[in-house]
C-alpha cells in the first residue's frame, strides 16, 4: 500500500521548490552584484570602504524617452465641402474619405491614419481622371490636395511609428533580465521591426506607397513586446556602474600591499584568478559583449532613420529625437570607457602575479 504524505510535508516541499525556482530567476543587477562581492572578497578589499565617488560619465538615473507629443510632426489639413464630397460618391476615394471623416476615423491611432492616407493617395488618380470631363474644377482642386498629401507623405510615416504607443513601450525604461534566451529574442524582434520601418520609409520616400497593413501592425506589435531599448539602457547603466566599481576595487588592491609579493601566484591569487575566469570572463564579459553588439546595431538603425527623415526637404526631425539619440550614443561610449578601465586594472593585477596569459577579450572585438 503506498505511503501517504502528510499535508504539512507536501506544503513544505511545495514552498521549497517555489523558493528554489525564485532563487534561479536572478536579475542582471543580482548577477553583477554577485560578481562585485566575489571580487571584493578575493581582493580582501571591503566594498563599503569605497570613499571615492564612482566617476559616472552620464547620470546614474536615465533620462526618460521622448513622449509621443514630443515626437509628433504637424500634419496640414486639406478639406473639401459637402457638395464636393457627394460628387465623389461613385469613387473609391469617396469611400476612403468617408471612413477618414467618420467618428472612428477621427479617433484612429497614428498607424491607422497612415493606412487611410495611403488609401487616399492610391485611389485618388483614378477618381480625378473620371472627374476631368464632368467637373474639371473639382478635379483640379483634388489634384492640388493630393499633391500636398504626397509631399507630406513622410510626416504620415513618421507619426505612424514614432508617435505610437508601440514606440513608447519600445523605448521606455525597462527592467534588466538575465534570461539570455528571452533577451536575445526580444532584441532580435526589435531590430527586425526597425529594419521593416526603415525599408517602408525608404519606399515611401521613393514614391512606392503600397504596403500590407497587417504586416506593418505585426512589426509594431514586435516593438511593443520587446521593450528592447529600455531594457538595453538599464543594463548598460548597470554595466557602467559595475565596471567603475570593479576598477576601483582592483586599483585599491594594486595601491596597497601586493597580492603576490614575489611576483608569483599565491593561494589568494588563485582565488582571484578563479573569479576572473569563472565570473568575469564566463559571465560578465559575455553579457557585456551581447549588449554592446545590440547597442551598435540599434544606434546604426536609429541614425539611418534620422538620415531618412533629414533627407526630406520639408521635414525636420523633432529636437527631442535628436537629443535622445545623442544621449544613447553618449551612454554607450561612457560604458565603454568604464569597461576599458576595468579591463586595464585586471591586466595590471594579473601581470603582478604572473597570471596574465594574454590580453583578455574586449567588447571592442565585437564592434
**Contact assessment for residue 87 and residue 131, using Cβ atoms and an 8 Å cutoff:** yes
pLDDT of residue 190: 94
The predicted model gives 330-340 an average pLDDT of 93
For residue 247 the three cell numbers come to 576598477
pLDDT of residue 325: 95
Any long-range contacts for 129-132 (C-beta under 8 Å, 24+ apart)? Answer: 130/90, 130/91, 131/87
pLDDT of residue 186: 87
Output the CA angle 317-321-325, nearest 5 degrees: 120
pLDDT of residue 21: 40
83-135 pLDDT per residue, tens: 455 456 667 666 767 666 655 556 678 898 899 889 889 988 888 887 787 78
Nearest alpha-carbon partner for 164 in 67, 232, 303, 230: 67
Q: Is 124 exposed, middle or buried (0-12, 13-18, 19+ CB in 10 A)?
A: buried
Candidate from 183-197, 214-228, 258-272 with smallest mean pLDDT: 258-272
Confidence label for 22 from pLDDT (cuts 50, 70 and 90): very low
Confidence label for 47 from pLDDT (cuts 50, 70 and 90): confident
Residue recorded with cell 546595431: 297
Residue 82 has pLDDT above 70, yes or no: no
DSSP 224-287: HHH-HHHHHHHHHHHHHHHHHHHHHHHHHHHHSS-SSTTSS--HHHHHHHHIIIIIIIIIIHHH
Name 202's Cβ contacts closer than 8 Å, sequence gap at least 6.
308
Residue 324 has pLDDT above 50, yes or no: yes
Give the number of other CB atoms < 10 A from CB of residue 31.
18
pLDDT of residue 314: 72
pLDDT of residue 34: 95
The predicted model gives 330-336 an average pLDDT of 92
Torsion of CA 51, 53, 54, 59, to 10 degrees: 150
Average pLDDT over the chain, rounded to an integer: 81
The predicted model gives 266-282 an average pLDDT of 93
Entry pTM: 0.81
Residue 17 has pLDDT above 80, yes or no: no
Amino acid at each position: 500500500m503506498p505511503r501517504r504524505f502528510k499535508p504539512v510535508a507536501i506544503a513544505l516541499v511545495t514552498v521549497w521548490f517555489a523558493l528554489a525556482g525564485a532563487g534561479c530567476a536572478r536579475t542582471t543587477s543580482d548577477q553583477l552584484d554577485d560578481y562585485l562581492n566575489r571580487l571584493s572578497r578575493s581582493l580582501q578589499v571591503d566594498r563599503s570602504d569605497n570613499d571615492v565617488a564612482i566617476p559616472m560619465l552620464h547620470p546614474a538615473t536615465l533620462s526618460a524617452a521622448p513622449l509621443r507629443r514630443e515626437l509628433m510632426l504637424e500634419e496640414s489639413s486639406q478639406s473639401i465641402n459637402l457638395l464636393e464630397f457627394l460628387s465623389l460618391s461613385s469613387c473609391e476615394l469617396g469611400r476612403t474619405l468617408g471612413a477618414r471623416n467618420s467618428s472612428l476615423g477621427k479617433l484612429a491611432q497614428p498607424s491607422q491614419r497612415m493606412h487611410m492616407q495611403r488609401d487616399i493617395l492610391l485611389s485618388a488618380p483614378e477618381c480625378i481622371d473620371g472627374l476631368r470631363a464632368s467637373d474639371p474644377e473639382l478635379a483640379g482642386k483634388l489634384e492640388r490636395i493630393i499633391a500636398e498629401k504626397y509631399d507630406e507623405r513622410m510626416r504620415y510615416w513618421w507619426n505612424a511609428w514614432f508617435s505610437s504607443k508601440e514606440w513608447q513601450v519600445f523605448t521606455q525604461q525597462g527592467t534588466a533580465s538575465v534570461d539570455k534566451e528571452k533577451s536575445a529574442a526580444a532584441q532580435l524582434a526589435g531590430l527586425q521591426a526597425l529594419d521593416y520601418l526603415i525599408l517602408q520609409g525608404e519606399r515611401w520616400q521613393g514614391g512606392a506607397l503600397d504596403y500590407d497593413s497587417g504586416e506593418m501592425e505585426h512589426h509594431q506589435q514586435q516593438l511593443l513586446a520587446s521593450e528592447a531599448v529600455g531594457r538595453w539602457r538599464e543594463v548598460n547603466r548597470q554595466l557602467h556602474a559595475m565596471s567603475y566599481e570593479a576598477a576601483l576595487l582592483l586599483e585599491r588592491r594594486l595601491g596597497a600591499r601586493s597580492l603576490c609579493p614575489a611576483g608569483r601566484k599565491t593561494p589568494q591569487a588563485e582565488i582571484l584568478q578563479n573569479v576572473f575566469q569563472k565570473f568575469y570572463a564566463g559571465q560578465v564579459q559575455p553579457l557585456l559583449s551581447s549588449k554592446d553588439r545590440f547597442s551598435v546595431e540599434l544606434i546604426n538603425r536609429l541614425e539611418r532613420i534620422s538620415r531618412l527623415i533629414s533627407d526630406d526637404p520639408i521635414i525636420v526631425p523633432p529636437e527631442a529625437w535628436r537629443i535622445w539619440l545623442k544621449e544613447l550614443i553618449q551612454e554607450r561610449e561612457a560604458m565603454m570607457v568604464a569597461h576599458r578601465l576595468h579591463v586595464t586594472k585586471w591586466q595590471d593585477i594579473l601581470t603582478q602575479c604572473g597570471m596574465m596569459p594574454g590580453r583578455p577579450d574586449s567588447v571592442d572585438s565585437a564592434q
